Chains A and B, each alone.
Chain A
């Protein structure tokens, strides 16, 4: 058993062994500086399985009958991050004030809009997008689908429930969103059914090509603070999938510290007033003579 007053320490060797196992299992890659995160978040699993240390945990993940389930649990624990409404306001302003009007114009014939939040965690981003769409008034009567996916099933259950505490509204700009919620027990707020019906959630591993093939084409992809868990080859694979899933002229919104530099040149970087955003280029009107 792991005594409570002596937190288990993860050696550099144990970190790499565990990191490699998780990478082989689901493609998540943890950089060296994330050793502490693994140590801290996986320590409770030693208690759960009555293990002495991370060496035993590695052994458990290699050989135990329940290894696959435990690897799923570990991946889920390691990628669950606290989130909140209207996170990264500059980008969301670019989305609502600049991207949505473009899409309203360009998709006016089909009157159909598809938005995917890849790595949606507990759903705050998906509902933020849905509320921004409704608030814009540009898509009334359109066929709108906002789809959130995540690797962790547990967070998806919370996302589907759509019930949030005050902490989720900590951002100043999120205050105005409260009108799209109704109070429920425990001082929490639940998303209104009208917004809830615009969104759907699904379990998805971005590196699982079989699962990815089930995702249709979309106009906008939000994938913020997810690529930090991928190494370069995996990033390239995921971004290639995004390119394939995006309609021509569709937008890809990454986290503020993420970029496609050295990943791909398949996207244009568009300088909006509020933020820089990647866009899948529209096809050239006609082939031109080569120099």
Chain B
């Protein structure tokens, strides 16, 4: 062991420290402090420059600092000072945009480039137009910087400028444009990309964009990318395949799977993919897993099992292993000791799904292990294996204090029961032969696999001492009622449960009444029979609208909607319009009125002004289906709501209305939208309305 040392970098730091502390004491609001801070931006130490930037960025009025900061962007400045000034200008944000836009007319191209870089970081949509103008700058470096800035800023103006430049420009500006489009996650038409891809130097950004395209032609082009001569291009194509896989359902990628299988030299491709499984880039590894899955080479199963060590890749690895075939036991079992519990569970689950009965002891051992995620996965594996010898272990888990695990055991037992009458009887014996009073998990199991003869136990369960058990019994009763096991009306025992001493049980009972009423009405419609008489249930639910607990009132409201109880619409309207009503109850009332076809504008307008966004979203959803100018106005107002989720709901509702008169305001809203998810909804709505005649 060595003695104390002064590591390199520590000695001598005290001088830097005193400069750093001096900077931290300066006040940028005073003229002297400002002058000194601007001077410190040229300090040789990054820490000192950074501290000066921090202080300057706090200026309420940046005007006095702007001339010096802009001047230091010039080509003759010390690079450290230039960077530190840029940091401050970025922190000034919108307040620095105008002077920076003025710099786009500077004589030196470096100054124009510097201004564009900062404007890109500030990301002000209003600067997109002038920046788009810089795409015609005589200096190619400036054009590249303009493309990069537009890629950061986004919005319709930036996008159309970039797409236009893509066709007109040549390398290297075209490369910057492609990268900018990739950053905005917007893929140009596949045919355009195919043409640009003729230039070898542009293939990497082209493949990156193909990963974002939904066109069938893009998938064919991607397959070709996997066998390109350049390793970096192949890797980009693999990442693009991964992007496709991570964002689209597997079924949509079947053309790509077919194209991959038809590629020449698949052995080399598989080898390359096996190496890429270790990539730090999740998309590359995801692409490699997908390709190996499509190639169907069982000898790659151990590599895929190791890929399951990464939690991000685990579901893909699991799906790939499952598709590789039924005889993976001999290649995978030797691997088990070296895998972590979670990856082991994936392997065992795969073998279980393929009916490899020999994994039963290992799955049972895993269930008794210490890793919670692995235990849950092993329970799932036992359910899929379909071996009745797993029933005692699964039954034992129904009383496990970990609710995730007992829930997984319920699901596994239900899966076992679905294998046939014999299996179902064995599973039912778990609760029918139980000697201890049933707990919540056992009631949930009854709800999944129960029969009419179990109704008495469930009704008794509504009186169980444990609140959780009563809640679960109510839900289970609703489940059996939905299957027609209790007659044509919601079970009356649930009505009694509306008087339970515990609000969570009363809420569960109301939910259960609603669920059974909805299912019974649906069945009656399908069979062409008269709708069930829910009058008694509706009366009890209407009384529950006065319950002291808002959750019970909310559940009762929704259930009234499910019962089709139009006679109680007035009570629901009062609740929906009451500004002092708890949010959950008001949202449920609006939802129920919508279901009853009674959500008029007089209800929706106040609801749309509610302080809680969930109530507003219910009103917005209902207004989407309500004819008339008032409803459209409500939606346009909601489309400018401060909450992103309300704006998104409004965009969708506006699109659903299908009124072409809304197209122009929608375009305006779309152009000004900063949030990606909302912008996507606006774009879809605009597209939907444009398609209308």
Contact = CB atoms under 8 A, between A and B. Distances in A.
A44 B342 contact: no
A281 B18 CA distance: 10
A48 B315 contact: no
Interface stretch (A59-67, A204-212, A239-247): A59-67
A287 interface: yes
B10 A270 contact: yes
A97 interface: yes
A171 interface: no
A102 interface: yes
Identify whether the interface residues of B are mostly helix, strand, loop, or mixed.
Answer: helix
A110 to B, nearest CB: 15
Contact of B51 (A17, A65, A265): A265
A44 B645 contact: no
A143 interface: no
A31 to B, nearest CB: 12
A101 B3 contact: yes
Contacts of B36: 290
A40 B18 contact: no
A63 B583 CA distance: 8
Which range holds the interface residue count of chain B?
Answer: 35 or more
Contacts of A271: 7-9
B448 interface: yes
Contacts, number: 140
Interface string B4-43: 1101111001110111111000000000000010010000
B152 to A, nearest CB: 16
A69 B455 CA distance: 32
A65 B411 contact: no
B551 A101 contact: no
Interface string A152-195: 00000000000001010010000000000000000000000000
Contacts of B19: 288, 290
A16 B645 contact: yes
Given A4-B415, A48-B403, A101-B5, A283 B17 contact: yes
A40 B448 CA distance: 22
A17 B617 CA distance: 13
B666 interface: no
Given A98-B5, A106-B4, A13 B648 contact: yes
B407 A265 contact: no
Interface residues of A, number: 60
Contact of A4 (B5, B46, B411): B411
A288 B15 contact: yes
Contacts of B21: 284
A269 interface: yes
B575 to A, nearest CB: 15
B7 A272 contact: yes
A106 B4 CA distance: 8
B13 A281 contact: yes
Interface in A4-61: 4-5, 7, 12-13, 16-17, 33, 36-37, 40-41, 44-45, 47-48, 50, 59
A43 B412 CA distance: 15
A272 B250 CA distance: 48
B410 interface: yes
Interface in A245-289: 265, 268-273, 279, 281-288
Contact of B371 (A13, A44, A82): A82
A268 B551 contact: no
A231 to B, nearest CB: 16
A213 interface: no
Contacts of B251: none
B18 A288 contact: yes
B13 A268 contact: yes
A217 interface: no
Closest 9 CB pairs of A and B: A105-B4, A47-B407, A284-B18, A63-B584, A44-B404, A4-B411, A265-B50, A48-B403, A284-B17
Given A4-B415, A59-B584, 13 more contacts: A4-B384, A13-B677, A40-B314, A41-B373, A44-B408, A45-B404, A50-B475, A98-B2, A98-B7, A104-B4, A271-B9, A281-B13, A281-B20
Interface of A: 1-5, 7, 12-13, 16-17, 33, 36-37, 40-41, 44-45, 47-48, 50, 59, 62-66, 77, 80, 82, 97-98, 101-102, 104-106, 136-138, 165, 167, 170, 265, 268-273, 279, 281-288, 290-291
19 contacts: A12-B677, A33-B312, A44-B404, A48-B403, A48-B407, A50-B444, A62-B614, A65-B549, A101-B2, A137-B1, A167-B340, A268-B10, A268-B13, A270-B9, A273-B7, A281-B17, A286-B18, A288-B19, A290-B22
Interface of B: 1-5, 7-10, 13-15, 17-22, 36, 39, 46-47, 50-51, 54, 282, 311-312, 314-315, 340-342, 369-373, 376, 380, 383-384, 403-404, 406-408, 410-412, 414-415, 444, 447-448, 472, 475, 479, 503-504, 549-551, 554, 583-584, 614, 644-645, 648, 677
